[in-house]
Amino acid sequence: MCGIVGVVAKSFVNQTIFDALTVLQHRGQDAAGMVTCEGDRFFLRKDNGLVNEVFRTRHMKKLNGNMGIGHVRYPTAGSNSSAEAQPFYVNSPYGIALAHNGNLTNADKLADEIFRSDLRHINTTSDSEVLLNIFAHELQQIGKLQPTADDIFNAVEKVHARCQGGYAVVAMITGYGIVAFRDPCGIRPLVYGQRVTDKGEEYMVASESVALDTSGYTLVRDLAPGEAIFIDTQGQVSTRQCAQVSRVAPCLFEFVYLARPDSIIDGVSVHHSRMEMGVKLAEKVMRERPDHDIDVVIPIPDTSRTAALEMANTLGVKFREGFIKNRYIGRTFIMPGQTLRKKSVRQKLNPIMAEFRDKVVMLVDDSIVRGTTSKQIVQMARDAGARKVYFASAAPEVRFPNVYGIDMPSASELIAHGRTADEVGEYIGCDWMLYQDLDDLKKSVTCFNPEITEFDTCVFDGRYVTGTVDEDYLARVDAKRNDGAMSASDPSVEDSNESADLHSKID
C-alpha cells in the first residue's frame, strides 16, 4: 500500500502536500516524495525515510509552484533503493510526473512492450514507472502541442485497456494540470475535495479523505472505478468514465486494516465499519458459546481498538487497555527479516499485569497473517497471569497473497493457509481462536452503503476480482515474497525458519 496526493491551488502547495503526506504516513513509512510545478518547470524531492525526514526546510524552500503531487511508499519486494521512491518523471511528452498506489499484475509484459513497441526505457523495477511510461506513450500518440481534457481522458482510456491490476494514480502534466484516475474495479481508494479561498477554488485528490479534512478541504466524493478527473492550472475540473467496463469492488482489507479510522472510503466511515465488526464478533461469540466465561476484552493496539470496544459493549463485559505500546519502535510487518520482526514485538508491546492476572481474557486483533506476533502476544498474556487466553480476529483467515498493492507474505508463510481456525489457535497457543465470518465482514461495510455489492476479498478466499491472476503469476509472487528469497537477495536480512506476523503497522 502507498499514499498519494495531488493539489491544484492559488498559492504554493508544498506545505499542503507535506501536511497531507504526513496524515497519509500510515500508508507507507519507507519513502516519500513530492514534485511541484511552477510555469514549465518541475521541482522534485524524494528519498527513503519518513515524511519529516525526507523534507527539510532547505528542500521545502525549493519546491515552488501552485500545483504538485506527493507519495509515501512502504517497502515491497525489490524496492530497497531510494531510486524506487516516487513520484517518477518523464520529459516527453510535455513533462509528466506520476505517483501510484497499487500493483500492476501484468507489469512484466508491459515493460517488454514498452521496450519493443513504445521504444521507452524503464530504469527501475517499479511498476509505477511502467504505468507512467504507458500513460506518457498514449498521450504522445495524440500528437497535440496543447492537449485538452478529452485528449488526456483518451490517454487514460488506453491505459485502462493495457493495464491490469489495482491502481490509484495521480499525475501532473507540466503547465497543464493534474489528472487522477482509479482502476476499473475501484480496488484502491481515491477521493477528491475542494476548498474556497479568497483567491478562488482549490482542489485536492488523495488516497483517503482524512488528507482533505486536515488541510481544510471538503470531501466532494470518491472517484468511481475507472473514472478520471482532470484539474487544470486555473482550477477547472473535468471528469469522465474512462474504462469500457467497470464495477465497484473495493479492497475489503482497507476497512479492516489499511485505512485510518477517520477516513471515509466509498461512502463508508472506516470507524463505523470497524465498530460493526466488533458487534459481529460478539454475535458470533454468543452463537458459539452463549455461556462464555470472558472476564475482559483487551485490544492489541491500535487498529483493533474500535472493534474490541464494541465487542465488549455488545457482550456486556469489561473493556480494558492491557498493552502499552512503545511508539518509537518501527512497524514490525515492514521489517525485512523474521528475526528482526520477532525481537521488535517484545520491545513494542508491554502488558499491564493487573489487567490479566487471574482473568479469562479475550484478545482482539484486526487480523492474523504470519502468526508469530500473535503467538508472542498470547504468551505475554499468560506470563502476565491470565487464567485463559482467547483470541479474536476482526478479519477472517488470511490464506492467500494480495496482488493489488499489499505486499503480504507468500502463501506458504500465511499461518491460516492450509490450517483450520483450531489449528491456528493451537499454533499461537490460545485456548479459543475466533475468526470473523467473511459474510459478516462484508455486512460490516455494506450496511453503511448498500450500493457496494462486491469486494476484493482475495486474501481471504483467493478470488482475484480482475480475473487476470493465474497460478503462474502467484508462483512468481511467492518466489519474490518469501523471506528466504528476500534474505538471499539482501545479505543484511536476518532469516528464521519461524513465521512472523504482519502486525503493528499503522498507528
**Cβ-contact 75, 185 below 8 angstroms:** no
d(CA 444, CA 394): 10
Alpha carbon 203 to its chain centroid, in Å, reads 23
pTM above 0.75, yes or no: yes
Q: Is the pLDDT at 335 greater than 70, yes or no?
A: no
Q: Check whether 197 is labelled as a binding-site residue.
A: no
Q: Is the pLDDT at 263 greater than 80, yes or no?
A: yes
SS3 labels along 257-276: HHCCCCCEECCEEHHHHHHH
Q: What is the DSSP code (8-state) at residue 106? A: T
**Percentage of the chain modeled with pLDDT above 70:** 91
Burial class of residue 117 (count of CB atoms within 10 Å of its CB; 0-12, 13-18, 19+): exposed
CATH code at 311?
A: 3.40.50.2020
Cα diameter, the chain: 75
3-state secondary structure of 147: coil
Point out the residues that are catalytic: 2
One domain, residues 238 and 172:
yes
Note the pLDDT of residue 44: 97
N-term to C-term CA, the chain? 15
Indicate whether 418 belongs to any domain: yes
Indicate whether 97 belongs to any domain: yes
One domain, residues 178 and 278:
no
Indicate whether 266 belongs to any domain: no
Q: Check whether 365 is labelled as a binding-site residue.
A: yes
Distances (CA, A) of 241 to 224, 255, 264, 298: 8, 25, 22, 45
- pLDDT top residue among 100 and 80: 100
Indicate the range of 9-23, 63-77, 143-157, 217-231 predicted with least confidence. Answer: 63-77
- pLDDT top residue among 403 and 340: 403
Q: What angle do CA 408, 412, 415 make, to 5 degrees?
A: 75
**Structural domain of residue 290, as residue ranges?**
274-326+345-452
One domain, residues 214 and 314:
no
- pLDDT top residue among 340 and 247: 247
Sequence letter at residue 222? D
pLDDT average, residue stretch 201-206: 98
Residue range 354-395, pLDDT digits in tens: 999 999 999 999 999 999 899 999 999 999 999 999 999 999
pLDDT average, residue stretch 156-163: 97
**Cβ-contact 42, 36 below 8 angstroms:** yes
Q: Check whether 303 is labelled as a binding-site residue.
A: yes
Q: Is the pLDDT at 125 greater than 90, yes or no?
A: no
Query: What is the chain's mean pLDDT, rounded?
Result: 91
- Spatial neighbors of 29 by CB under 8 A, at least 6 apart, are 50, 72, 74, 330, 331, 334
d(CA 84, CA 492): 19
Count CB-CB contacts under 10 A for residue 471: 7
One domain, residues 216 and 308:
no
Distances (CA, A) of 298 to 70, 123, 133, 245, 318: 37, 48, 49, 45, 9
Render 451-479 in DSSP notation, one character per residue.
Answer: T----B-HHHH---TTS---HHHHHHHHH
Q: How many structural domains are present in the chain?
A: 2
End-of-domain residue from the set 229, 247, 265? 247
3-state helix, strand, coil split of the chain in percent (to 5) is: 35, 25, 40
d(CA 465, CA 125): 25
One domain, residues 308 and 375:
yes
Indicate whether 378 belongs to any domain: yes
pLDDT average, residue stretch 325-346: 60
One domain, residues 155 and 25:
yes
Note the pLDDT of residue 485: 54
Indicate the range of 68-77, 131-140, 341-350, 439-448 predicted with least confidence. Answer: 341-350
Q: Is the pLDDT at 160 greater than 90, yes or no?
A: yes
Indicate whether 316 belongs to any domain: yes
One domain, residues 302 and 370:
yes
Note the pLDDT of residue 410: 85
Residue range 446-505, pLDDT digits in tens: 999 999 999 999 999 999 999 999 999 988 888 877 755 555 544 443 333 233 343 333
Note the pLDDT of residue 412: 87
